[in-house]
Amino acid sequence: MDKKLINNLLEKSQEAFLMAIEIYNKPTISYRLEGFAFFICNAWELLLKAKMIQNGESIYFSDKPNRTISLEGCVKKVFTNEKAPLRKNLEKIIELRNTSTHFITEEYEMVYIPLLQACV
């Protein structure tokens, strides 16, 4: 187990969580829903990778040892119950992030607020 790597992942995860919250709490930023989704997904990915390493699991692709698995891969490995509320919530936030990355997200903040709060 690489404690230095785990600590680095956890520190970066905390920073990403804080960035997500700071962006969302700035009412003058019109892109805050998307920004929150980007940073909260990054935070969760780093957190889950630290957890996987701590559990002795690999975070790398077996055929590409320099490439780490995606957030979706981490979620599937750590939260094996497909019906677990946390997993379902993360999957919805990932979907929001992916849509925001590749297209325009309609601003339905009232729809997303419960998801965002649960994700934190």
Residue 25 to residue 8: CA distance in whole angstroms: 26
Residue 52 to residue 33: CA distance in whole angstroms: 28
Query: 31 — phi, psi (to 5°)?
Result: -100, 25
| Whole-number Cα distances in Å, 90 to 51, 97, 99 | 16, 10, 14
Could you identify the residue written with the tokens 């929150």?
36
Cα maximum dimension of the chain: 45
Angle, in degrees to the nearest 10, between helices 85-102 and 71-78 = 170
pLDDT per residue, tens digit, the chain (120 aa), is 699 999 999 999 999 999 999 998 898 888 888 888 999 999 999 999 999 999 999 999 989 989 999 999 999 999 999 999 999 999 988 988 888 777 776 665 656 666 666 666
Query: 3 — phi, psi (to 5°)?
Result: -65, -35
